[in-house]
Amino acid sequence: MMKVIVNVQLHERRVAIVEDKNLVELMIERSDQRRIVGNIYKGIVENVVSSLNAAFVEVGLQRRVFLHISDIAHFDPFADAETEEDDESFHQPLVKNYGVHIDRVLKKKQEVLVQIVKDPMGTKGARCTTQLSIPGRYLVLIAGPKHIGVSRRISERRERSRLRRIIADTKPEGFGVIIRTIARGLPAEALIQDLNGLLEQWEKIKRKAQVLPAGSLIYRDAGLIPALVRDQFSEDVQEFIIDSQDEYKKIIAYVKQVAPNLSNRIKLYNGKEPIFERLGIEKQIDKMLYRSVRLHSGGEIVIDITEALIAIDVNSSKSTKKRDYEDMILKVNLEAADEIARQLRLRDLGGIIAVDFIDLARKENSEKVEKAFSEALRNDRATKRILPMNEFGMIIITRKRIRQSITSRITEQCPVCRGVGSIYSPSTMVAYIERWLIHATGHFKGKAIMLTHPSIAEELLSDNGQRITDFSEAYGIRLVVFADVSFSPNSYRIISSETGEDITDSY
């Protein structure tokens, strides 16, 4: 069972999903960073790039969105058998056959309706699709195909067949429907009501698409909190606690309509202490930024993020004894498997992930670790693929994410180390300063003032300023050193005492 904790501030909303008192997911929405995944825009093709088999579409966002040939639908939901050939109303481009090149589907300045499926990340713009879908509480309506899908988590064959029959008897032609996990066991009336609401929403989208100009927002998906209630609030949620009375009233009103049996699980927090601090979530958020995570067994996992992949290393306990080495390592690996699965969800790490477990001598123990890791990843809703453990005790995972990782949203690159994770030592910086003096020799003589970080100043002035004396004798330049805490540990400025000119970049 899990708990959902929601913190609402003036310009930020945070959602924490907690399992057994452990934070497993953190979601943040800020007033200047509203989520765009799920939004539908009427765009205009700005550029078709044959080499990428893709196009860039202008939709009115800060950056153009990326549309690959594989994301272009095989159906035009605006098509009508009675439409005349010279009809000038809006129509979607479509791919009739697989293997078609982008040049045959799209052309520059063509209007197209697109839905955002992936947030912008780094220097890349958002990714979009022309296969439009609208999520409801129990169903997802897809414009175009006729397919009826049922969530894989509904495993009972009889229940899957029952749900399919209800939708097949109700949905109109020209639409596909995906039945969500939360629909399990519901009466037909609830599903039909949800379907009718989605069809009404689709009609509004069609009308807007025909009349609004390119660059218009046609449909905005629900914000963070409404989408969370719609998509994840189910029997699996033990408590839903929120600290905003206004949002509490909205959630209660919605839940009483769609799932009245769950309304008593929604609680309003009125404590004086901030909710995340009161429930111990703030401390867990701080720890989320650490490179290493300690395990109860004494071992640790170390997470390194690079451009190409994410490397996670499992280190053993310092107290490991030879006589029980295999059992101890197995214990560390099993604990690490659970913690790594939690960290993947918590930090929302994506791409290629290489997990290096500690080598085990017995094959059956390696199999236990592999099985435990797969089990631990079952609660992860992200699309992923797990390769078998190789002979080196390493498991490779590919994990898909649709938005920026949470760490990249709440942090920024260190201006000193620039993402390297380390800076030059004071003695190394003194060597850099000496090289500056070498370049300046013959061009500048006399006294100069140097402003630098206190750690570098301390290194230069140690041994009664012997280094300053050595530099003066060797290079003919006398440095007067001042410590300034506003300087970063890897920076300094040198100013001519005579003219007051900053000459740092002159030599």
Lowest mean per-residue pLDDT among 13-17, 242-246, 325-329: 325-329
The boundaries of the domain holding residue 479 are: 426-506
415 in any annotated domain:
no
Instruction: Note whether 166 and 269 are same-domain residues.
Output: no
Same domain (yes/no): 377, 267: no
What is the DSSP-derived secondary structure letter of residue 357?
A: P
Residue 419 lies in a domain: no
Q: What is the residue type of 57?
A: V
| Residue that is last in its domain, among 202, 219, 236 | 219
Question: For position 229, what pLDDT does the model report?
Answer: 92
Q: Do 193 and 119 sit in the same domain of this protein?
A: yes
Same domain, 404 and 461: no
Nearest to 110 by CA among 154, 48, 155: 48
- 431-463: per-residue pLDDT in tens? 999 999 999 998 998 899 999 999 999 999 998
Average pLDDT over residues 10-37: 88
Domain final position from 219, 248, 270: 219
State how beta strands 477-483 and 446-452 pair: parallel
Whole-angstrom distance, CA of residue 151 vs CA of residue 139: 10
CATH code of 238's domain: 3.30.420.60
pTM greater than 0.85 (yes/no): no
Which of 196, 219, 242 is where one domain is finished? 219
* Same-domain status, 307 and 180: no
Q: Are residues 121 and 161 in the same domain?
A: yes
Number of domains in the chain: 4
Over range 476-486, report the average pLDDT: 92
Is the confidence at residue 473, as pLDDT, over 60? Answer: yes
In a domain, 456, yes or no: yes
**Per-residue buried b or exposed e for 254-290, using 16+ beta carbons within 10 Å of the residue's own CB:** bbeebbeebbebbeebeeeeebbeebebbebbeebee
**Residue 83, pLDDT above cutoff 60:** no
Write the pLDDT tens digit of every residue in 322-348. Answer: 557 888 899 999 999 999 999 999 998
Give domain status of residue 470, yes or no.
yes
Q: Is the same domain home to 202 and 241?
A: no
User: Are residues 134 and 99 located together in one domain of the fold?
Assistant: yes
Assess whether pLDDT exceeds 50 at residue 86: no
Same domain, 262 and 354: no
Structural domain includes residue 421 = no
SS3 content of the chain, % helix, strand, coil (to 5): 35, 25, 40
What average pLDDT does the chain have? 89
- At 257, is the pLDDT very low, low, confident or very high (cuts 50, 70, 90)? confident
- pLDDT tops 90 at residue 242: yes
H/E stretch holding 165 reads: helix 157-168
Q: Assess whether 120 and 136 both reside in one domain.
A: yes
420 within a domain of the structure (yes/no): no
Provide the pLDDT for residue 84: 45
Identify which has the larger pLDDT, 334 or 417. Answer: 334
313 near 358, Cβ under 8 Å? no
In a domain, 194, yes or no: yes
* CATH number of domain containing 75: 2.40.50.140
pLDDT at 232: 86
pLDDT digits (tens, 9 = 90+) for 360-371: 988 999 999 999
Distance CA 470, CA 81 (A): 90
Q: Based on the domain organization, do 130 and 250 belong to the same domain?
A: no
Residue 257 and residue 182 share a domain: no
Identify the weakest region by mean pLDDT among 12-21, 315-324, 449-458. Answer: 315-324
- CATH code at position 431: 3.40.1260.20
Question: Can you say whether residue 442 is alpha, beta or left, with left for phi > 0 and alpha for psi between -120 and 50 degrees?
Answer: left
- Domain assignment present for residue 164? The answer is yes
Query: Which range, 34-48, 72-86, 118-132, has the best average confidence (pLDDT)?
Result: 34-48
Is residue 78 within 8 A of residue 140, CB to CB? The reply is no
175-179 vs 40-49, strand pairing mode = unpaired
Query: According to the 3-state scheme, what is the secondary structure of 32-57?
Result: CECCCCCCEEEEEEEEEEHHHCEEEE
